[in-house]
Each structure stands twice: as C-alpha cells, then as structure tokens.
Chain A
Amino acid sequence: MTDVDLRAIRSSLHGVIPSPIATCSADGMPNVTYLSLVAYVDAERVATSRQFLGKTRANLDENPRAQVVVMDPGSGEQHELDLRYLHTEVEGETFESLRANLDAVASQTGMGDIFRLRGVDVYRVERCIRIGVAAAPAPAQRDLLEPVERVVRRLVACVSYEEVARVALEALDDQLGLSHTLLLAHDAASEGLFAVASSGYPASAVGAEVALGDGLIGTAGVRRRIVIDSNMRRSATMASAVTQLAPDPREVQLPRLAAAASAAAVPLVVGDDLVGVLYAESERIAAFVGPWEPALRLVGAHLAAALAARGMPAEDPAPAAPPPPAPAGAELEVTYYESDDTVLVDGEYVVKGVPGRILRSLLREHEASGRTLFSNRELRLDESLGLPAGNDNLEARLLVLRRRLAERGMPIALTRVGRGRLELSVQRPLRLVDVPTAGPWRDA
C-alpha cells in the first residue's frame, strides 16, 4: 500500500527530469546517484534502468531498500518513493519497452553502445508520498479520445495511399495540434525507411531516408515499439561525443525542428509487416507523456491499416489517352547511376533507390515506344525494378517519385490517373544516359 496511488503520478515516471536514488550498503554507507528512468510497471511496482550503477547494484544485493524522488515535468510536483528491490529483468515487456526508448535516445545522440541497457531493476513501492513545497497547478489533462476519433474518421474516408499520407499529417495538426510531423514508409529491401510526407517544416522531407535502427525513427521501426524522448536537450547533453558527418548534397536531408524539446516515433505495423513510422516533434518538453502515448498508438494502428489497405494492388481500367504532342525545346539530360540508382535531371539530383529505377524504366519505355500510360501491375512484374515480394510499398515509392518531380519543378511529371494507373508527361526531348558500375559495390 502507498499513500499516493502510483497510477496518479504516471506523468512523473517518464524520465524527463533525472531521478535521484539512494541505496545503502550493509555497513551503513549510503550511495546517491541519478537514474535515466523510473518507469511505471503497475499500481505497485516501478522499474529503473541499470546502466552505470555499479555501487547501486552492489548495495541492492546486500540491502534491497532504496529511495527515489520523481518529479512531474508539467507541475514540478515531487514524490518520494520507498522501494524494495525485487529482481532484475533482461527480457520481457518492461525491459523491451525501456530498452527501445534508451536505445533510441542513445542512437540519436551517437552513444549507442556505451548507453546499452543492461537490465531493468524491478521494485515494489512500499511508500509513496508527496514532498516539497506546493507545486504549480498541473496543466489540465487534455482529453485526446475525441480528436483521435476525428483523425481516424478522416483516414477511413481516404481513397488512395497518397491521400492517406497527406490527410494523416493534416488531421494530426488540425485535431491534435501536432504541427511538425513526418511519415516514413518501410523499404524491406534496403532495411530502411523513406519519407513520403512531411508537415510543418520549411523544406519537404519527401525522399529522405533513415536506416532501420538509426535514431528515434529507426529504433521505433526496428523494435516495432513507440519511442519517446521527452527532453531532447538533456539527451543531447548526455552524449559527450556526437559524430557530425557533413550531409551528402545528393541526398534529401531529414528536416528537424531546431528548437525541438521532445519527440515521439510511432511504428506503423500491420500483422508482421512494418508499414512505416510516424514521427512527431514538439518545442515543449514532455509533450508526449501521459495520455499521448496510448493516443499515438491508436492513431498509429489506424494509420498503418489505412496505408496498407491503400497500398494493395487494385487497378481501374486503362483510360483512353490521345497521343501526346511531341515535346519541343532543348534536350533534357536524364542521368542514371547504376551504383545506387540515383537519377539526375540536367545535373540536378531528383531521387535514388527504387524510385530512381522506376523513373529510369518509365523513361526508357517512353523513349522506345512513346507510351505515356503505365500500370502498377506492370511495374510489379518488371524484375529489373527489384521490388520485394509481398509488401512492396510500391504506392509509397511512387508517391516519393511524384512528389520529388513536382517539388523540383521538373519538366517530367508523373500523375495518378486512377487506381493503379500512372501517366507520364515529358515536356522536352529526352537524352537518357546510364552510368554503369563495374565492381562489387553495387548496392541495389
């Protein structure tokens, strides 16, 4: 039994403010240190991360008593918890949940291996009391169920993958006030994620890539667990040595909010398939604690289902198309690099990877036959594109290609003209150049 119900202080159990812990050796010498995380397990138990806590560990082996102080990041209210150590877990739900979060933060800050979670110590809470001076009134807890339901209703009404991607981010902004969001699709072949839509950033993120396991987004994808960093500046401080690599100008950079204080990455999973990851940032610390975590899970589940359903093969009959007028003007040079399927148009980077292969294939066919109408079905049957069997995310790749062409103002456009149907338009005569790669490093 505790004086304060642990369920009432769950927002203090998210690791926004480091929690001090005291233990005591058998001979009466206390030890005090900070914990990255004190996490809620159930109404009677909490778990703490075990990372560098050699002396704490030794003390708990001799004497299972500990005391921690936790703080609500919204109100500043503090609670003192008297704990009795029960056991250490190196697997299971609590461990995996904490590990996903800590790994994500460590990866984000370039400290992956050093910050490896070695286990979670589980304690029974013997006493929980409020301490300290009267805190500021806690901000009113927002009821998220209704706005989440409105987001879901808008997703259900969408008819295409592209519409789901656009409407999802609009609805998250309109209904939940999430004004900086990214939607990434999973590419099983490259073990990566690529952005198909972004909202609230000065530059479009479409086409940007994240490796599975990299940062918050990549960790959410590979672990298939929601990960939340409630205080990004503290996390960055924790990392004393962050590797700074110069960005590759040929690649699209993932936008980030310079003043971001907290972030959440939500895996989008249907059955065994990872469909993608939804990412949200906020300038407020602890913006995604309390009811936000279940709300984001709920949105993620519906978004995953909506994207997967609209990505399934379905085709309208081929529309009758009049032959397009012959393009005029200066030649448009389209260069395709076999090494990573990068496509440059008049020297300007457009896209790479599978979307690059698709663009090259469409342009080659157009050049050879004059065709402008294509179907998803023939793309799926084109072995040179290397689409994986099963969940090929073709709609997501076509969305990236269409957006990249449109955003760069290219004289090449790809338009959706019905379910599973595409129309290619080329405004200038083409000159197609392939740059082959001879050698073992082709990474297709």
Chain B
Amino acid sequence: MTPAPDIAELAGQGVAVIVGTCDAERRPAVTRGWGPVLGDDGASLALCVDAPRGSATLANLGAGSLVAVTMSRPTSYVSVQLKGPLRTVAAPDEEALRIAEVHIEAFVRETSAIGVPESIIRPLVGTELVLVALDVTERYDQTPGPMAGHAL
C-alpha cells in the first residue's frame, strides 16, 4: 500500500487543482485553481481560482459557499481533497499571482511528461482569477485505488 500523501509537499509539485462550490439550490460548479499555498500548519489553504464574471463559481463564492479543492499530480496520480468553509475572497495580489505563475510552469512540465501538448494546457489558465482562502476542516486521500476517499 502506498503511504498517505504529504499534502504540503504535493501542493508544491505542479498539481492539477480543481475547485468545487455550490449554490443555495445545491447546484455544484467546478473550476480550476492555481498556486495553492497551505497555511496555519495545514489548517488553511489559499489559491487563485478561475472565476470569470457571470460564472456560477464567482456567484457561489460571493454567497459564501463551502469549498472543496482536489490537488492531483499528473505524473503520479497522487491526489488529496481538502474541504472547508470559505474564509475570504479577494482580487489576487502580486504575490499570489507570482505563486500561481510558478505553479502553472510546474503544471505544464508535469502534463508535458505524460504526453499532453503544452498548447492545450496553457489555455486552461483563465484570465479572471480571484484569490480564495478557506479553512481546511476535512482532508481525504483521493489517489485512485482502494484508499480513495479515506480521511487523512
């Protein structure tokens, strides 16, 4: 059996990041995230989120949705999911954008290694990012296999 993933280490490895929210009618929305940073000894997570004007994700964040974030490393499939209440939503500052840029480059290297052309990865990065912080209250191993879904 593979050891439980190290969440902080994984966050720095060019992971694919997806972010889930929902509205009051429990309609889910999924989008991508960039530059995840764990804080408070793993009790919080900050990241840039693709949330264009008019999108369900932006509306859900504005309404204070709970948030789920899955980070998955393309070259190993090691994955974790973090969940919890929204702490803040703001326009990304320069530091957050710099971290996102570093992450995007690492992500492109990861996906290139499994044969996905860079030309179709770059357009995944949205042009309307918001900076989201959440309290991490639930952590799950999401690596495909028999341990998928187990709490960490």
Contact = CB atoms under 8 A, between A and B. Distances in A.
Interface size class of B (residues with CB under 8 A): 35 or more
Interface string A70-84: 010111101010100
Given A71-B120, A136-B123, A238-B144, A30 B2 contact: no
B contact patch SS: mixed
A288 to B, nearest CB: 15
A253 B68 CA distance: 47
B114 A234 contact: yes
B120 to A, nearest CB: 3
B99 interface: no
Contacts of A78: 123-124
A335 interface: no
A195 interface: no
B27 A65 contact: yes
B30 A69 contact: yes
A115 B77 CA distance: 14
Given A22-B30, A30-B22, A65-B26, A73 B120 contact: yes
B61 to A, nearest CB: 11
A34 B75 contact: no
Contact of B27 (A20, A24, A232): A24
B70 A132 contact: no
Interface in A39-88: 51-55, 63, 65-69, 71, 73-76, 78, 80, 82
A24 B28 contact: yes
B145 interface: yes
Contacts of B26: 24-26, 28, 63, 65
Interface stretch (B3-11, B13-21, B36-44, B88-96): B13-21
A30 B18 contact: no
Interface in B133-152: 138, 140, 142, 144-146, 148-149
A261 B67 CA distance: 35
Given A65-B28, A66-B28, A237-B74, A132 B20 contact: no
Contacts of B56: 67
B116 A231 contact: yes
A240 interface: yes
Contacts of A25: 26
A132 B129 CA distance: 12
Interface string B72-105: 1011110101010000000000000000000000
B62 interface: no
A52 B22 contact: no
A68 B77 CA distance: 19
A237 B79 CA distance: 13
Nearest to B50: A132
Contact of B66 (A29, A33, A34, A74): A29
A232 to B, nearest CB: 8
Given A75-B120, A285-B116, A32 B144 contact: no
A114 interface: yes
B69 interface: yes
Nearest to A58: B149
B123 A32 contact: no
B11 to A, nearest CB: 15
Nearest to A239: B77
A114 to B, nearest CB: 6
Which of A24, A52, A78, A285 has the most B CB atoms < 10 Å from its CB?
A24
Contacts of B114: 231, 233-234, 237
Contacts of B19: 32
B117 to A, nearest CB: 8
A294 B9 CA distance: 45
6 contacts: A52-B144, A52-B146, A55-B140, A237-B76, A240-B76, A261-B115
Given A114-B145, A237-B76, 11 more contacts: A17-B116, A24-B26, A26-B26, A29-B68, A30-B67, A67-B27, A69-B31, A78-B124, A80-B30, A136-B123, A240-B76
Interface of A: 17-18, 20-26, 28-34, 51-55, 63, 65-69, 71, 73-76, 78, 80, 82, 114-115, 132-136, 231-234, 237-238, 240, 261, 285
- Give the 4 A-B CB pairs with smallest separation, nearest first: A76-B120, A30-B20, A32-B20, A22-B30
